[in-house]
Structure 1
Amino acid sequence: MTAVIIGGIENQTENFTYTMEELQALAEADNLEVVASVHQKLERPVAATYFGAGKVTEIFQAGQVHAADALIVNDELSPTQIRNLEQDTGLTVIDRTALILDIFASRARTKEAKLQVEIAKLQYQLPRLRTSAAEKLDQQTAGNAGGGFTNRGAGETKLELNRRVIEKQISQLRKKLKDVQKDQVTQSKQRRASGLPQVALVGYTNAGKSTTMNGLLQLTGQEEDKQVFVKNMLFATLDTSVRKVHFADNKEFLLSDTVGFVSKLPHNLVAAFESTLAEARNADLLVQVIDASDPHAREMIATTEETLASIGIDDIPMIYAYNKADLANTRYPLVTGDAITYSARDSQSLQVLADVIRQKIFTGYQTLTFLIPFAEGQLVQQLNEEAQIIKTDYLATGTQITAEVSPQLAAQLQDYVQ
């Protein structure tokens, strides 16, 4: 396993300790072994090396002592900072953005996710071409006896060529992504047209969204093949999964499990996964899943809500679902206003969560009595499939059914209401 040192600058940031702990978790999620952690108090990063000269020397020494291979920095670095730090420490330097991009690249499974990550990686590389171009220019001019202006021009031409190649790649990938997303847009329109309420699980990565989704599916008798992938790691899955949840009284809603968030999530990745988060934007209700056992739960809530707001999701009703209450040694299940404390591995908790969701999304349902002519047998079948039947009587003029129905079904059958 690759040994790495993590480091950051504490510049009056309230959540510095939290972000450093998170950086270690991200490194471990990328199969890296953190052997040391360094930090420095500075008002702002040093332009040339990010850290001050003394701290750079300390990192070099730590790298020798711990036989480290790389330094992971808790911010996005400039090409100059990366180059100088690598020269001064003898370590490969990876900034936070590059680390998250690498994790996303290893987790992407669907064609859409792979395209989104590849676009974000190329966008990250684009402003950093100068470093590699400068190295190539050094190789080109090594041993040449002068002509500095001419050689610089050659290097700049090479840089522009590289830039055009990457911009062309990005353009081609975007076209492919657009084609892939056409089918998803169609599916999303069909889901909205179905009239079923839509609920989206959102929240910090590894808070338990997928476990919660699987628990709700199992609670309502869904087949195992409908379950989504779960693993105890950051960004275990990047793909949005949508499942239909069906209750015994024939009430149904669509439940989606969205990609998790993390603090300082690179802007390019947020933009790239905006379409993936469309399920959250179209939702009637958001369930923000929070790790109640984590001491940084408040920061995680803030991160989630800032990320949602950045893509225009800030006016949808939300339930705050404090998961992992069994690990937090707190009482559960417990409902307080729009918050529920629960464990996604506890069936009673999941039942309470399902009840809270039902109360929020199945508003407008009403109990009505319909008289369906015998010739309209398909409407009787529809009521049996989509409504909670309270009473059925067979009269001379047709089938009389009293049922609790959705607003959509009530409007569709209004001509048969008694």
Structure 2
Amino acid sequence: MERVILVGCQLPKDDDQAFFYSMDELASLTKTANGEVLVSLTQKRERVHPATYIGKGKLEELVQLEEELEPEIIIFNGELAPSQNRNLSKILNARIIDRTQLILDIFAQRAKSKEGKLQVELAQLQYLLPRLGGKGVELSRLGGGIGTRGPGETKLESDRRHINRRIVDIKTQLTSIVSHRERYRERRKRNQAFQLSLVGYTNAGKSTIFNRLTEAGTFEENLLFATLDPTTRKVMMPSGFNALLTDTVGFIQDLPTSLVAAFRSTLEEVTEADLILHVVDSSSPDHVNHEKTVDKLLKELGVEGVPVLTIYNKKDQTTEGFTPAYNQEILHISALDPMDITLLINKIESLIKVQMEPYHIVVPSSEGKMIAQLKQETVLSTMEFTEETESYELQGYYFDNSKLASVIQQRMKK
């Protein structure tokens, strides 16, 4: 494990509680990236120092701490400007990174699919491009005329050209992957599959819930960003109705803009959802801010008007200060309790029925295919067999835009 010192700068807009949660989160991110936090250094300022992020006195304190503890890395809880990074690197011996680089590093560790790896690389290159350094003779170019003669193209310039070429190349590859994903979405729409999306702050327990509902076996761990690539699986309701459930990447406060942009195609799965399952870690003292962060990012993605079920997870670890938001559909569960999972799946089915139309029809027992379709593509409430007529009396709910809608409507008129 790499030894790490954390550095934070509290500005007037950050209240004490929010700032210290942010520092705790930085420590969790460091642990996820396999780092060991030695000490955290914080300072209150009116604004960050334009040259060194923290003030002169605090920087001297940091130099002394570095000599004493000999860390490999110093992580700043904010995004460092290229000039700040260069200035700090001249004063300190350890490697200097900021919160954004740390998140990018975790994403690079977690990416498994080709798309995930390309998205992370794109975000890293876009972050790196303005931070390439160079000075003096290193910047001279070969040219004609006074003041333009020099030893030729520099390492810096060739790096810059190489990065720009690679960015164009990745964007081209991602475009084809995105169009491929869109074709999948179109097919799901044509098949009229009901789509559920799991969203939530990182480490809220989305993958655990996903695995309990679908038995998919995706990676679940008490780490930030355990899931990076979206996974879609079929989930069966108690009535036999099939829906599709997608697990998405976790959100986080101050998620780097380049990452939101890079993962936009992945997060667009949420915009196609018919019902959003917003998972909140009820054991976190900062759960209210976590909810707000997710709501804000959903708005940025253009997700509005989609029904949301808020699932407060980790009921067994909830603190006394926990207060759920009562202005929406909510459920308080533990993803590890099978009874709570049954409760959740029943709640999901009841919310699906809200978006459907009721039906009451009679189907002859000879039409087995029709009965099987009704079981899978509608929410079947009751099914009774009548011996005299050798037929089934069926009651349930259907989507009025489904393939079965016209057949059901005709039968209801009889």
Q: Which TM-score bucket, shorter chain as reference?
A: 0.7 to 0.9
| Structure 2 Cα separation of the partners of residues 379 and 79 of structure 1 | 65
| Structure 1 Cα separation of the partners of residues 341 and 365 of structure 2 | 41
| Structure 2 Cα separation of the partners of residues 299 and 331 of structure 1 | 14
The answer to whether the 8 Å contact 1:45/1:51 transfers is yes
Alignment of 1:246-285 (within 5 A): 246-285=236-275
Alignment of 1:209-220 (within 5 A): 209-217=206-214
Paired position in structure 1 for 2:383: 390
Answer yes or no: is 1:123 the counterpart of 2:126. yes
| Structure 1 Cα separation of the partners of residues 137 and 114 of structure 2 | 34
Answer yes or no: is 1:100 the counterpart of 2:100. no
Query: Aligned-residue CA RMSD in angstroms?
Result: 2.8
The residue type equivalent to 2:98 in the other structure is D
Structure 2: give runs of 5+ residues left out of the alignment: none
- Give 1:392 deviation, angstroms: 3.7
Q: TM-score, normalised by structure 1?
A: 0.87
CA-to-partner distance for each residue in 1:63-90, whole Å, 9 max, x for gaps?
1111211110011111111111121122
| Structure 1 Cα separation of the partners of residues 251 and 2 of structure 2 | 25
Answer yes or no: is 1:77 the counterpart of 2:55. no
Distance 1:48 1:310, change over 3 A: same
Percent sequence identity over matched residues?
37
| Structure 2 Cα separation of the partners of residues 120 and 27 of structure 1 | 19
| Structure 1 Cα separation of the partners of residues 397 and 353 of structure 2 | 10
Give the secondary-structure state (helix, strand or coil) at the position aligned to 2:264.
Answer: coil
- Give 1:171 deviation, angstroms: 0.9
Answer yes or no: is 1:356 the counterpart of 2:347. yes
Paired position in structure 2 for 1:134: 135
Paired position in structure 1 for 2:337: 346
- Greater Cα shift, 21-30 or 354-363: 354-363
The residue type equivalent to 2:108 in the other structure is A
The answer to whether the 8 Å contact 1:391/1:403 transfers is no
| Structure 1 Cα separation of the partners of residues 70 and 136 of structure 2 | 26
Alignment of 1:362-401 (within 5 A): 362-363=353-354, 364-371=356-363, 378-387=369-378, 388=380, 390-393=383-386, 399=391, 401=393
Structure 1: give runs of 5+ residues left out of the alignment: 142-147, 218-223
- Greater Cα shift, 323-332 or 198-207: 323-332
Distance 1:99 1:153, change over 3 A: farther
CA-to-partner distance for each residue in 1:257-303, whole Å, 9 max, x for gaps?
11001111000100111111122111112111111111111111111
Give the secondary-structure state (helix, strand or coil) at the position aligned to 1:275.
Answer: helix
Answer yes or no: is 1:166 the counterpart of 2:143. no
Give the secondary-structure state (helix, strand or coil) at the position aligned to 2:138.
Answer: helix
Higher helix share: 1
Give the secondary-structure state (helix, strand or coil) at the position aligned to 1:362.
Answer: helix
CA-to-partner distance for each residue in 1:40-72, whole Å, 9 max, x for gaps?
111111111111111111111111111211110
| Structure 2 Cα separation of the partners of residues 354 and 324 of structure 1 | 17
The answer to whether the 8 Å contact 2:204/2:279 transfers is yes
Distance 1:314 1:152, change over 3 A: farther
Distance 1:195 1:395, change over 3 A: farther
